[in-house]
């Protein structure tokens, strides 16, 4: 039967029936080790008992009332996020793109509130991904995703990632903010250097610009810190969060200082679903686990173990692996074979990894992954490497026989 779904994805011929922790079971009954976490979304693995309990308990009480009323569960989550971060205020949305979109709007409104509405432009970075709305596409400026959708939203100036001199040169009288994904996920797990991220903070302070972080992918514990800004040791003024924050339930959040949010008064923004009690139950349950004493330290430790195992893999398979990069439990393997082929070879070994830019494979295990599962995953990656080495060896043989 032909699919009635809009064909915007080239899907793998594989579907899953249930999941538990770091494991997925396919509709044909095969078990896969999930080192993709639904693209950094299932931060606590599949069907985490604490999340299932929080979601089902809330499902029996109340799903949604709209933002015309007070939502105690949202008050709680916003307060907890503010207390745990640089932020004073939080807005809840349903996705990453919506969160980045609000970050952009908020930055523009801040400049307007300062009496400088002409400073609506934002400096952004090549290789970033910010979502699929018209403004977030324009922010990232990837021509592949903008093609055919009419004029791009005005106001974004892309410069090379990591290039502070280019940032300084791009600042003009209309520049009001900088938007950066500190560790580019879709772009190929490119982590900004510490001097670069700190340099952006200095530039923003000097030129009175707002610094906005897109931590939709690299946030929520991936680096071993609640947010990556803490790993870098500089706070943004606005931060967009999503993906792992709901543990699998659609949830996004924008975190901001009171100063950065000062233009956002009553009526300036809104959402039908954002902050609904079901999403809030999941968000609160995720934070229960992430903020429990010792949890993030464990993520750091497991990140180091993963990194060591991957470095060993790269050392023993230099023909297939070019480079390992990333931080904590967001690691990238740059391969010398097409990354889509490598992901397919990994799937043949019953391991899920996710292709990204620069011919990289993203390794994003759930934060609850065990040491044993890390070693198992890397041994499956090793089997995938051997697949390409054997293919290369047999090709050599064929050539030899022919010559
Ligand atoms: C996935 C992602 C987005 C978009 O999130 P959606 O929930 O798909 O809208 C934005 N920014 C970054 C860094 C992402 O990884």
Q: What is the pLDDT of residues 27-41, one digit of tens each?
A: 999 999 999 999 999
Q: What is the pTM of this model?
A: 0.97
| CATH of the domain spanning 16-47+297-402, picked from 3.40.50.1980, 3.40.470.10, 3.90.1150.10, 3.30.9.10 | 3.90.1150.10
Instruction: Could you please state the CATH topology (level 3) that the domain comprising 49-290 is classified under.
Output: 3.40.640
CA–CA gap between residue 215 and residue 260 (Å, rounded): 17
Beta bridge partners of 126: none
Q: How confident is the model at residue 401 (pLDDT cuts 50, 70, 90)?
A: low
- Which residues does the annotation mark as catalytic? 129, 214, 243
Q: pLDDT tens, 256-303?
A: 999 999 999 999 999 999 999 999 999 999 999 999 999 999 999 999
Copy the structure tokens of residue 193: 């250097």
Nearest to 138 by CA among 120, 155, 115, 121: 155
CA–CA gap between residue 333 and residue 385 (Å, rounded): 12
Decide: 185 in ligand 1 pocket, CB within 6 A: yes
Average pLDDT value for the chain: 97
Decide: 183 in ligand 1 pocket, CB within 6 A: no
pLDDT at 285: 98
Atom number of ligand 1 nearest to Cα 186: 15
Phi, psi (rounded to 5 degrees) for 217: -100, -40
Beta bridge partners of 240: 214, 254
Q: How confident is the model at residue 313 (pLDDT cuts 50, 70, 90)?
A: very high
Decide: 219 in ligand 1 pocket, CB within 6 A: no
What ranges do the domains of the chain cover? 16-47+297-402, 49-290
CA–CA gap between residue 268 and residue 365 (Å, rounded): 38
Q: Is the pLDDT of residue 198 over 60?
A: yes
Beta bridge partners of 96: none
Reported as type and span, the H/E element at residue 331 is strand 330-335
Decide: 129 in ligand 1 pocket, CB within 6 A: yes
**Ligand 1 midpoint to CA 247 (Å):** 14
Q: How confident is the model at residue 403 (pLDDT cuts 50, 70, 90)?
A: very low
Atom number of ligand 1 nearest to Cα 131: 4
Instruction: Confirm if 216 and 179 have CB atoms less than 8 A apart.
Output: no
Decide: 217 in ligand 1 pocket, CB within 6 A: yes
- Give the number of other Cβ atoms within 10 Å of residue 314's Cβ: 19
Q: Is the pLDDT of residue 329 over 80?
A: yes
Could you give the 3-state DSSP secondary structure of residue 118? coil
Could you give the 3-state DSSP secondary structure of residue 124? strand
pLDDT at 400: 66
pLDDT at 311: 98
* HSE-up of residue 205 (Cα within 13 Å, Cβ side): 9
CA–CA gap between residue 264 and residue 201 (Å, rounded): 23
**Ligand 1 midpoint to CA 40 (Å):** 10
Instruction: Confirm if 164 and 203 have CB atoms less than 8 A apart.
Output: yes
Beta strands in 134-227 (DSSP E): 156-159, 175-180, 183-184, 190-191, 210-214
- Give the number of other Cβ atoms within 10 Å of residue 258's Cβ: 10
- Angle between helix axes 277-290 and 49-59 (nearest 10 degrees) is 160
Decide: 214 in ligand 1 pocket, CB within 6 A: yes
Decide: 100 in ligand 1 pocket, CB within 6 A: yes
Report the residue among 125, 217, 239, 364 best suited for mutation to probe ligand 1: largest number of ligand atoms under 8 A from its CB.
Answer: 217
Atom number of ligand 1 nearest to Cα 97: 9
Shortest-distance Cα residue to atom 5 of ligand 1: 96
């Amino acid at each position: 039967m032909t699919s009635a779904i809009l064909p915007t994805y080239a899907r793998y011929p594989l579907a899953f029936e249930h999941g538990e922790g770091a494991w997925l079971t396919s509709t044909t009954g095969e078990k896969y080790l999930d080192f993709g976490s639904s693209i950094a979304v299932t931060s606590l693995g599949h069907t985490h008992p604490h999340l299932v309990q929080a979601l089902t308990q809330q499902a029996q009480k109340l799903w949604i009332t709209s933002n015309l009323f007070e939502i105690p569960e949202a008050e709680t989550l916003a307060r907890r996020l503010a207390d745990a971060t640089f932020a004073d205020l939080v807005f809840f949305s349903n996705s990453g793109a919506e969160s980045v979109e609000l970050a952009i709007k908020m930055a523009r409104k801040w400049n307007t509130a300062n009496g400088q509405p002409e400073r609506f432009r934002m400096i952004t970075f090549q290789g970033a991904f910010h979502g699929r709305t018209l403004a977030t596409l324009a922010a990232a400026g990837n021509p592949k995703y903008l093609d055919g959708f009419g004029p791009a939203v005005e106001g974004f100036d892309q410069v090379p990632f990591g290039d502070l001199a280019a940032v300084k040169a791009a600042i003009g009288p209309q520049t009001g903010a900088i938007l950066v994904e500190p560790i580019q996920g879709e772009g190929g797990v490119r982590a900004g250097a510490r001097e670069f991220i700190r340099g952006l903070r200095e530039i923003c302070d000097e030129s009175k610009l707002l610094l906005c972080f897109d931590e939709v992918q690299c946030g929520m514990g991936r680096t071993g810190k609640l947010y990556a800004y803490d790993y870098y040791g500089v706070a943004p003024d606005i931060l967009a969060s999503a993906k792992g924050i709901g543990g699998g339930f659609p949830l996004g959040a924008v975190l901001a200082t009171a100063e950065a949010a000062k233009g956002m008064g009553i009526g300036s923004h809104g959402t039908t679903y954002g902050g609904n009690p079901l999403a809030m139950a999941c968000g609160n349950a995720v934070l229960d686990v992430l903020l429990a004493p010792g949890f993030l330290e464990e993520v750091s430790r497991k990140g180091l173990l993963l990194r060591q195992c991957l470095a060993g893999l790269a050392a023993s398979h230099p023909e297939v692996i070019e480079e390992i990069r990333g931080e904590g439990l967001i690691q990238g393997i740059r391969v010398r074979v097409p990354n889509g082929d490598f992901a397919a070879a990994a799937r043949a070994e019953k391991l899920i990894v996710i292709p990204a830019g620069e011919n990289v494979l993203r390794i994003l295990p759930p934060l609850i992954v065990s040491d044993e599962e890390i070693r198992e995953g890397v041994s499956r990656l090793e089997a995938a490497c051997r697949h390409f080495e054997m293919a290369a060896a047999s090709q050599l043989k064929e050539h030899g026989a022919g010559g």
